[in-house]
Amino acid sequence: MKKILSAALMLLMVSQLGAQSREVESLLKDYEKNKERTEHEKRGTRPSTWIDYAKAVSNAYSYPTNNLWIGLSSLESKVVLKDQRALSTEYQTIQGEQYEVVKYPDKDLYYNADGRLSFWIITEPVLKDMDMLEEAYNAYDKAAELDTRGSSKADIQEGLTFIANNYINDAMAAYTLGKYAEASGKFEKSFIAASHPALNVVDTTIVYYVGLTALMDQDYPRAVEFFEKCLDMDFYSDGDTYANLAEAYKQMGEVEKGKEMLSQGFTEFPNSQSILVALINAYLESNDDPNKVLEFIQRAQQNEPNNPSLYYAEGNVQKNLGKFEEAIHLYEKSTEIDSTFFFGYFQMGQAYYDKAVEIQTAASDELDDQKYMEMVKELDTMLKKAIQPFEKSFELVQDEEIRPVVIEYLKNIYFRLRTESPDYEAAYNKYNDMLK
């Protein structure tokens, strides 16, 4: 019985593959026929010839995913692809999200956690060794050149819209897979297709995406080019264009140019959180006027009162200004907002520890015995206050490079205090053994 079923299944698959191969063969013949016509002396001068060729290439491009669309449920996809058998199914985690990947002979379909089609990758295109959308675009461009009367304008516009939309789909797929250079290139081609004079749809958002994916790919000159283009086109993305442009300049080593962009952006978008955060980082990194930094930080806090990192950042500035109590208060506030905010605890512990070291240095120069003993007592008090935030840091730390740093601080504190109680001595041995 199993052999009969297996044989029947094989016959079904062969018949399906045969039907598909006949369709592909028909597409290839249509492509070759229309390609030859574009090379014909007379036919090659007609807009319709180039439009037919563009449609033949576009049909070949879209064949593997005919009748599919983004957002389709997996069950609906199976109905649409009823004549096609999946080869396998696997699960992949991509940028923190899990996808069900259903593999077919010519494509991989990616379904999100809700079971909806998120994107696809064509693994076996009908026309190989060519960017089919670019080939179709060039054909429509030629048709537009020849269409002096405008009689084919509607067909050309429809074709260019198809190309622009599909470049966006392909760009989003590349972006999701972390292929940022490819995504940037496809977003740019989408913009070129849509802004063709025959269609003249200028989508500034797509220009922004070109720059953003270039920035993510660390292609900073390209990012600068397209973010500058966004500014020329008055597309600011609520200030994000300035912040991203400044980051690109900074990564290119043009720090002052980056700060200039941020200052300009801040003037136009004083409530932009991305600009404020970038300004804070720029001023902190360049050790500029700390009061200016505080102004930016406090404005950012007004926009995001529940962002722990902003209070942490202000705490660092206050600490550098010598305002120890204010810094401790701000670190505490950051951990009150988010009880799992590692950096707030760690910096609080470090502030107490640094204060203890400062006292120890001063005590070593103190000649008055009574004052010396008072300073030593204060030193130990600071170290004891550092224990709780460092212990919490140890509990929360995820970074394997930072973990030994936390352990080193705790080991040093407990080493000094080990003679005060068996608990301190046991803690010292525990962290000392960890470092071994």
3-class DSSP string for 319-340: HHCCCHHHHHHHHHHHHHHCCC
Q: Give dist(CA 94, CA 77) in Å, integer.
A: 21
pLDDT in tens, 20-57: 588 999 999 999 999 999 999 999 999 999 999 999 99
Cβ-contact 194, 209 below 8 angstroms: no
Query: So what's the pLDDT on residue 20?
Result: 59
Retrieve residue 167's tokens: 């470049």
Structure tokens at 334: 């950051």
Helix (H, G, I), strand (E, B) or coil at 109: strand
3-state secondary structure of 96: coil
- Please, is 310 exposed, middle or buried when counting C-beta atoms within 10 Å of its C-beta (0-12, 13-18, 19+)? buried
* Structure tokens, 191: 């913009």
Cβ count within 10 A of residue 331: 30
- CA dist 417 and 210 (Å) reads 57
d(CA 314, CA 310): 6
User: Taking a C-beta distance cutoff of 8 angstroms, is the pair 317, 290 a contact?
Assistant: yes
Strand partners, 102: 89, 109
**What are the distances in angstroms from CA 135 to CA 40, 56, 115, 141, 400?**
18, 10, 34, 10, 49
| 363, two tokens | 């005590």
CA neighbours closer than 13 Å in the CB half-sphere of residue 308: 16
Amino acid at 415: F
Integer Cα distance of 201 and 68 in angstroms: 25
Question: What is d(CA 207, CA 227) in angstroms, rounded to the nearest whole number?
Answer: 8
Residues forming beta bridges with residue 92, ordered by sequence position = 99
- For residue 61, what are the CA distances in angstroms to 47, 212, 262? 21, 27, 43
In angstroms, what CA-CA distances link 175 with 214, 217, 251? 11, 10, 21
Contacts of 291 (CB under 8 A, 6+ apart): none
Is the distance from CB of 212 to CB of 244 less than 8 angstroms?
yes
Q: Are 227 and 241 in contact (CB under 8 A)?
A: yes
What pTM was estimated for this model as a whole? 0.70
Distance CA(75)–CA(46), nearest Å, equals: 45
Cβ-Cβ contacts under 8 Å for 224 (sequence gap 6 or more): 211, 245, 248, 249, 252
Q: Tens-digit pLDDT profile for the chain (436 aa)? A: 444 444 443 443 444 445 558 899 999 999 999 999 999 999 999 999 999 999 999 999 999 999 899 999 999 998 999 888 999 999 999 988 999 999 999 999 999 999 999 999 999 999 998 999 999 999 999 999 999 999 999 999 999 999 999 999 999 999 999 999 999 999 999 999 999 999 999 999 999 999 999 999 999 999 999 999 999 999 999 899 999 999 999 999 998 899 889 888 887 886 677 887 787 778 777 766 777 778 878 888 888 899 898 898 888 888 878 899 999 999 999 999 999 999 999 999 999 999 999 999 888 887 888 888 999 899 999 999 999 999 999 999 988 889 999 999 999 999 999 999 999 999 999 999 998 8
Position 232, amino acid: D
* Residue 199 near residue 157, CB atoms below 8 Å: yes
Contact present, 127 and 57 (Cβ < 8 Å): yes
pLDDT digits (tens, 9 = 90+) for 266-291: 878 866 778 877 877 787 777 667 77
> Nearest CA to 71 among 107, 106, 120?
120
All structural domains of the chain = 306-436 (1.25.40.10)
Tell which residue, 210, 44, 58, 49, has the closest CA to residue 137.
58
